[in-house]
Structure 1
Amino acid sequence: MKKFIVPALFAFLFVAASCMNMNGGSEKGGSIRVALPGGRYVYSKENADKFVVRVIGETETIEKEAMLGGVIEFTELEAGEYTVEAEARDSKNNDELIASGSKDIKVVAGETTECPFTLIISNCFVAEDGSLVINRKKCEKTGLVTVTDSVVMANLDGGAVDDGTEKEISPYAIGKYEVTRELFEAVMGIDPSSTERVTEEETYELHPAGSICWYAAIVFCNKLSILMGLEPCYSIDGIDDWQEFDYESIPGSKTDNNVASWQSVSCDFSKNGYRLPTAAEWEFAARGGDMSAEDWNYRFSGSNKADDVAWYSGTSNYNLHEVGLLNPNRLGIYDMTGNSTEYVWSDSDYSNGDRRLYYVFSLISQTSQSMLQNEYGYTYRDPSNLAYQRGFRIARTIK
């Protein structure tokens, strides 16, 4: 089994914010000083050597540049809330974006605020088009799309998770595509997907990752979060180092000695890392994210015609296919019906003993029924059980 160890170099940006009262009661005069790392840091030839820093306020955005070891100062700022964004770029490679980060600070009249700002320079980052770059390799078809940027009370009537109550859905983003074999292997160091049923006309690495269990999806999310400098969402007793966690240590059956701790896995939705969408989030995105829109009640995600949006038994020849080849729904999300089945996170409303973990059916074997209908929408499975057609897509909480 291949094992990836991703080197991460840490550059520390120290942001000092200060301001003072001006004559006549004016609150202008605050300043932000950003000190950039210098020669004491060791960079490979592929790492960043240039920084772009932006200070974003309510009425204006100021952008400045500096090389390593430089100092950027923003003066004559109004007191108030600001976001400081920093980008590390490679000036020798057409200013390619290497890493980025942001931090919210507050300039208060009459006070001085020192705010440490850490930017991780690594070989893993989000490219400008939203794709994920792992070990300096851009993984295609890996972007996320914002489903809602505000809290929504969703009535999922007629859907798979309809229990007669409204669901509170917080701001979140979801993967435009199912997690591909390429991305899964880049993060986990292994591609357990079946090698059968190859479709030569398609890019096989861009087929959905399959033959994985629900627990493997959880591990993937935590490892991806760490690689991207984010906070892991999932906690399992006895596991502290997710970056070094070995794929072969994931429970493969209900009789594994450590399966009890895995069954008590918890998810912290306040963390900014990657995770599985909840059942309600998954369906809200599949139905287009707007309860007043026509497509909210479509039979399939994005269309009333399965052939437009879904690989199913009538079109797929019972094979998985490259993600994103058919039409997306209104949000730009592909394959929410058809292709791989998709694991989701199930909360206490959808628990079923040790099979409380829940996943949504695809249309692989349905020819005439909508996957958004209760009778075909979901089922419970042992979270250590795997199958060729089972995959997942990722989500993130938006703060």
Structure 2
Amino acid sequence: MKEKDTASNLVSAANSLDAVANVEPVRPAMETVLDTERQKDADILLLRNGDKLTGTVVNEKFSITTSYAHLDVVTKHIAGMNLEGGANNIESIIAENNNRFSGFIDDSFISFKLTNGPQLEIRREKVLKIVLRQRSQDMGEMKWTPFIWLKNGDYFHGQILTKDIILSTIYAKIPLDFATTESITLIGESNPLLTIVKMTNGDSVHGILEIEDIQIELDAGSVIEVYQDRIDRIFFKEGHVSAVATKNHFALVEKGSFTMGNTWGDGKSDEKPTHKVTLTYDFYIGKYEVTFNEYNAFCEATGRSKNSDDGWGGGIRPATYVEWFDAIEYCNWLSEMEGLLKAYDSEGNFLDKDGRVTTDPSKVVGYRLPTEAEWEYAARGGNKSRGYKYSGSDNADDVSWCRRNSGDEYLDENDIDKFIGNKCKIQKVGKKAPNELGLYDMSGNVEEWCSDFHSSYSCSPKTNPYNSTNSSNRVIRGGSYQSHASETTVASRSYCNPTHRGGFIGFRICKTL
């Protein structure tokens, strides 16, 4: 399949989840934003007390202070605004062309004219989300411009105004010609910052950028200067950015320590003993399990047969019947789509930025499956954890699709006869509440492959753990729609042969920051 066709498939898949950097020359309207369907004739205001108002946002523009710039975004260029985090957490603006800017929104009041009603001045602290009506005509004629993805998870299109950018290599100083540049990757762990430039002819050049700030004129308005250390990647050619569509589903998990294992005194023996785990690096992890739409794009691009959806309809349900080796090949494929080094060799070993086998997940550049420790830390809410037993709640039904609630009716999960007749099934991703990091379905729906081989716990503290010791099974986590609720806790563990294809096993992906 041609690369352009593959890119289109990826974008279509990601559009279903409202997280795509659109790569088509003419940008269609985003039909949903912030998990809410956009109307064509009204704006929506979702309040913290549960009220939903329809009408028109009267503010002409909104200001947001990000970690890299202060910018104003005209309201007609906004698709949605997320104020859910409140004063203590990051808020965000999603532009009509599906660009994301996060930080703190400065405006104190939302001026909102109710449909067939008065105009209200509502304090921003009372607002959860704002979903603006579809306005495809305002940005639909914009041509594709370079796409910039930042290390904090923000992403946007814009023209790079900075001229005469020089890449200093060990053998020469090379002026960058954007017309022949496919992408620029800035490796954040090195000092000075290592830059990898991939050219349209397939060449790759390593060096140091002889400039600190890059000036960008945003498609959504405003001219900003971004310090190069804040940039993860710049894509200059449409069709080479499409894999970012999946990445935009990611949540940032900041480094920290936690107690791994069952901390409630119940559970199975393999969830014990509890032990301290420290992760010394930040990483991204998928907000959702990889869906059939996304996995099918991979199958089409690589000539694979598509997996069964058991007649339930694939779409944005988690992809299943995926063996562990299929999952890591999906990860490697995404990495190659973006010009990143692969995370795995053919044996399933981690690879570092030099292509050498490593057992340190912090040294892996490409997309990969989370380690078991990363998975549990993220499921618990990372450094924002509130100590919930399930991922986001102490009540399984709030966050988990399990055997008692995933069928046609709520049932006693111990009643086997009803369980068989109730037709429990996999649900579309993101329908239950998220956890503290905005991650969905980490309890229940489908079990998820991790990178590690399965082994017993020990009580000794661990730093950046990853079990690379060869055994017959790989770890799976989270429980599934077939599981008892007690098997979908953040500490619950299971395992399976890596060549097994189960109708209850899927995966989500991650990437070291």
Could you state the TM-score of these two structures normalised by the residue count of structure 1? 0.58
- Distance, in Å, in 2 between the alignment partners of 1:55 and 1:279 is 26
Q: Which letter maps to 2:246? A: L
Select which of 130, 152, 164 maps to 2:274.
164
Q: Give 2:390's match in structure 1, choosing from 289, 300, 303.
A: 300
Q: CA deviation at 1:125?
A: 2.1
| Contact kept? 1:324, 1:335, Cα under 8 Å | yes
Alignment-derived partner of residue 278 in structure 1? 371
CA 1:330 to 1:361, structure 2 compared with 1: closer, same or farther past 3 Å?
A: closer
Is 2:444 aligned against 1:338?
A: yes
Alpha-carbon distance in structure 2 between the residues aligned to 1:54 and 1:385: 36
- Offset at residue 346 of structure 1 (A): 1.0
1:384 match: 499
Could you report, residue by residue, the CA deviation over 1:142-193 in whole angstroms, capped at 9, with x for unpaired residues? 6100111x3x232214167544332232321100000011111212324633
1:379 deviates by 2.1
CA distances 1:2-50 after superposition (whole Å, capped 9, x unpaired): x454599xxxxxxxxxxxxxxxxxxxxxxxxxxxxxxxxxxxxx99875
Match of 1:227 among 313, 337, 342: 337
> How far 1:321 sits from its partner (Å)?
1.1
Would the aligned equivalents of 1:233 and 1:267 in 2 still touch at CA under 8 Å?
no
The 2-side partners of 1:268 and 1:186 are apart by 30
Q: Distance in 1 between matches of 2:311 and 2:146?
A: 47
Superposed CA RMSD: 4.3
Give unpaired runs (5+ residues) of structure 1. Answer: 9-45, 57-62, 75-85, 90-97, 108-113, 134-141, 240-264
Contact 2:332 2:343 in 1 (8 A): yes
The corresponding residue for 2:511 is 396
Q: For the Cα contact (< 8 Å) 2:192–2:208, is it kept in 1?
A: no
Residue 102 of structure 1, CA deviation: 3.9
Which of 274, 287, 290 is residue 380 of structure 2 equivalent to?
287
Other-structure match for 1:138: none
Question: Aligned in 2, Cα 1:289/1:392: closer, same or farther, shift over 3 Å?
Answer: same
Matched, 1:123 2:233: no
Distance, in Å, in 2 between the alignment partners of 1:223 and 1:47 is 30
**For 2:296 and 2:446, how far apart are their aligned partners in 1?**
17
In 2, the alpha carbon distance for the partners of 1:380 and 1:238 equals: 16
Among 156, 166, 186, the residue aligned to 2:297: 186
Deviation string 1:321-377 (CA, Å, 9 cap, x unpaired) is 111111101110000011111001115755686423111142423344152376xx2
Are 1:65 and 2:160 matched, yes or no?
Answer: yes
Letter in 1 for 2:476: Y
In the TM superposition, what whole-angstrom CA distance separates every residue of 1:61-119 from its partner, at most 9, and x where no partner exists? Answer: xx9834xxx93469xxxxxxxxxxx9x89xxxxxxxx9774467759xxxxxx736996
For residues 149 and 288 of structure 2, the distance between their equivalents in structure 1, rounded to whole angstroms, comes to: 31
In structure 1, give the amino acid aligned to 2:257.
M
Residue identity in the other structure for 2:504: Q
Partners of 1:155 and 1:223 in 2: CA distance = 34
Residue in 1 aligned with 2:352?
none
Aligned-partner Cα distance in 1 for 2:346–2:358:
7
The reply to whether residue 196 of structure 1 matches residue 310 of structure 2 is yes
Distance 2:431 2:310 in 1: 20
Is 2:415 the counterpart of 1:325?
no
SS of the residue 1:383 aligns to:
coil
Q: Percent identity?
A: 26
Could you say if the C-alpha distance between residues 124 and 309 of structure 1 is closer, same or farther in structure 2, counting changes exceeding 3 Å?
A: farther
The AA in structure 1 aligned to 2:381 is G
Judging changes above 3 Å, is the alpha-carbon distance between structure 1 residues 166 and 181 closer, same or farther for their aligned structure 2 residues?
same
Q: What are the Cα deviations for residues 250-276 of structure 1, in whole angstroms up to 9, with x where unaligned?
A: xxxxxxxxxxxxxxx976631321100
Q: Does the Cα contact within 8 Å between 1:191 and 1:209 map onto a contact in 2? A: no
Number of residue-to-residue matches in the alignment: 279
Q: Contact 2:365–2:512 at 8 Å: present in 1 too?
A: yes
The one-letter code matched in structure 1 to 2:239 is N
> 1: distance between equivalents of 2:148 and 2:476?
42
Aligned partner of residue 210 in structure 1, secondary structure = coil
Q: What are the within-5 Å matches in structure 2 for residues 94-173 of structure 1?
A: 101-102=185-186, 115=208, 121-125=237-241, 131-132=245-246, 143-148=249-254, 150=255, 152-158=256-262, 162-169=272-279, 170-173=281-284
Cα separation, 1, equivalents of 2:366 and 2:398: 33
Unaligned runs of 5+ in 2: 7-140, 152-157, 167-175, 194-206, 211-232, 264-269, 350-356, 408-423, 457-466
State the Cα deviation string for residues 183-205 of structure 1 (Å, max 9, x = none). 11212324633232426xxxx41
Residue number in structure 2 paired with 1:244: none
Q: Residue 236 of structure 1: which of 340, 346, 352 is its match?
A: 346
2: CA distance, partners of 1:237 / 1:283: 25
Instruction: Look up the SS of the partner of 1:232 in the other structure.
Output: coil
- On the 8 A contact 1:344/1:358 being kept in 2, the answer is yes
Instruction: Tell me how far apart the structure 2 counterparts of residues 65 and 236 of structure 1 sit (CA, whole Å).
Output: 39
CA distance change for structure 1 residues 228 and 166 in 2, over 3 Å: closer, same or farther?
A: same
**Contact 1:52–1:65 at 8 Å: present in 2 too?**
no
Letter in 2 for 1:394: I
Indicate how the Cα distance of structure 1 residues 272 and 47 shifts in structure 2: closer, same or farther if over 3 A, else same.
farther
Conservation of the 8 A alpha-carbon contact between 1:178 and 1:335: yes
- Specify the code of the residue in structure 1 equivalent to 2:332: N
SS in 2 for 1:393: coil
Q: Secondary structure at the match of 1:131?
A: helix
Q: Distance between the aligned counterparts of 1:385 and 1:238, measured in 2?
A: 15
Structure 2: distance between partners of 1:217 and 1:54:
24
C-alpha separation in 1, matches of 2:323 and 2:257: 31
